[in-house]
Amino acid sequence: MKTMTPLVNSTRLSLTAALCFLLSAISACGPTDSVDSAPASPAVAQRALTVSGEVSIGMFHPLASQDQETPAIGVGNGIYLVAWKEHIGGTTQLLAARVRASDGVVLDSSPISIDGQSDSYGRVGEPSIAFDGTHFLVVYSRLDPSNHSFNENIFGRRVRASDGALVDSYPITISTLSKTDDTLHPSVVFNGSSFLVLWESLIYPGWALYGAYVPLSGPPQNPLPNFQVTPNAFNSQLALGSGTDSLAVWSEPQGKIRVGWFIPGVPQVILYFTVAESGGSNPSIAYNGTTFLVVWNEAGGIVKARRVRLSQVKGQPFSDTSFTVAQGATSPAVVSADSESFRVTYHATRNGVAQLVSTRVLPDGTVAPNAEQALATTPSTERPAFASLSTTQKLVAYKQWIPTAYYSRIMVRGVSDVQECLMGQPALVLNGGETLTVECGSGPYVDAGAQAFNGCGFPLSVTGYNTGKDSFGPGPNTSLEGTYSVSYAAWDSSGSVNATRTVVVEDSRPPTLTLKGPATSTHTCGSQWVDPGVEATDACYGNLTAQVWHTGEVNGWAEGTYTVTYTLTDSGGNSATPVTRTVEVVDCPW
């Protein structure tokens, strides 16, 4: 077995910091390095999120000779395997190290060389890791030195969790497609009987998503059978669901995000559907034991999400619409899950500081107030890696720029997401604004409601007063101008909270005047002319015919042309468009 090396470096962190790295619910421990936290709400704290000090996972070589990037994390049997790309002397290697989840100890005194055969072109792609119960399979893309056309292929190599030994003498060749220009971005998951690997390949006329199954004992044949998942697809990610089913998410042109359902051994998607029609990129997916959460980035730094479940109707959307997780993200987001919540992690600038932040999403899709919490201060905009072994044992890996040495290193922090509440007072948030203006006569009042959360960020029931759907009042009268109040309250054993919405019903639309009878008519001289009148209606006040004024009279005993004009102004000061009637009096006998 390799020598166990503490993850924390004694020259960088104190003993207290090392103890705080223990990924357990030790609420007294906090970050030892400076972490710029998101502003805390005075009313609610999500959870007692504990973040360890920042530690370099790959400090195995002289600092000036390496540049590290694109971390990946696999987890199994209480072990994290962290893999990364490392640039050394004009070449790129793929390295890894094991971290014990219970105490944060690095179990390898020297890095595990996943691929030390990279050529002078330095083309080793981003890794992805899955665990089969005994071994980690690390998959990645690389220019094959024996491939004189300089095409990339997908390779894999297994690492035994117990001692870090490489099981395969040489990397397993996973992609076996011919006539490819590029083969990139693999993703892997273990489905109980084999590893499912997906990747994107550029085969004229464009990109397509391909896959292969890698058995537990390594490939039984060379080459491995490959299959096309779908054309015009890229940036795939995989997550294992309950049993052996797994879902993959990928991007398509114009930003469409799709999810596909796989079952073991079947070289095709059983069912797929769209979770975002356009504008999406860099999707990620995780499973919490009952529900998948798909996240993706949109323009302007918006991070969106949508829940998906495999149930009686496999792979149907959990909800009809997506929801916003965060704004202002400067990197692709990654999602992980435990039995109680999802964590969506990404880079963002908050209060002028470039940070690595994480937002907690509840299983029902709720993003509670102040759900975003800071994990580290870093200028990186590269997608981080985040793995959850449990609520109290998580690991985040990310690229950190070292400005004094002009290189980047992969850093890790332990994260404990314990269940204790920091503050007891609940919080209440109105859906919509505190003041709502409603047009008089627009129809029944529909209340937007409110959301409440306890001190841990879990939803509370909200009681409404005068919403129109409770027994405490009829609700704002949208047929009568005025100012109305709608109130909300929530409470639990720690306290109560209230909020009030002001609803202003106002009339801004003018009434309508409609002539009865023709607008132009002829009257035979010698009798009284009878005015057919008008009809006056108002959306707010109803029938206002009795309030209509008119100017002009018709003399039924004198020939001539007469004009009658009708006007109306309602009590809200809105004037109707006047209407006019013309009457021609003719044929007087005198």
pLDDT on residue 220: 64
Distance CA 435, CA 485 (A): 9
CB 243: neighbour CB atoms within 10 A?
11
Q: In what order do the strands lie in the sheet with 234-240?
A: 234-240, 246-252, 256-262, 271-276
Query: Sign of dihedral through CA atoms 336, 326, 230, 122?
Result: negative
Q: Are 296 and 383 in contact (CB under 8 A)?
A: no
Confidence of residue 28 (pLDDT cuts 50, 70, 90): very low
Most confident range (mean pLDDT) of 11-25, 220-234, 277-291 is 277-291
Most confident range (mean pLDDT) of 83-97, 105-119, 317-331, 351-365 is 351-365
* Six token digits for residue 286: 């995780």
CB 232: neighbour CB atoms within 10 A?
15
For 131-175, how does the pLDDT look when each residue is reduced to its tens digit (9 = 90+)? 999 999 999 998 765 554 556 789 999 999 999 999 998 899 998
For 59-104, how does the pLDDT look when each residue is reduced to its tens digit (9 = 90+)? 655 544 578 999 999 999 999 999 999 887 677 889 999 999 988 8
pLDDT on residue 7: 43
DSSP designation for 11: T
* Six token digits for residue 224: 């491995």
Confidence of residue 40 (pLDDT cuts 50, 70, 90): very low
| CA-based nearest residue to 589, from 522, 529, 526, 527 | 526
Which residue segments constitute the domains of the chain, with CATH numbers given? 5-418 (2.120.10.10), 427-506 (2.60.40.10), 512-586 (2.60.40.10)
Q: How many residues does the chain have?
A: 590
User: 135-143 and 128-131: which strand pairing?
Assistant: antiparallel
* Six token digits for residue 338: 């435990």
| CA-based nearest residue to 81, from 73, 70, 93, 90 | 73
Distance CA 361, CA 85 (A): 30
| CA-based nearest residue to 337, from 303, 280, 386, 374 | 386
pLDDT on residue 25: 28
Q: Tell the residue number behind the tokens 């006998």, with chain if given.
A: 589
For the cut 90, the answer to whether the pLDDT of residue 376 exceeds it is yes
For 327-356, how does the pLDDT look when each residue is reduced to its tens digit (9 = 90+)? 999 999 999 999 888 999 999 999 999 999
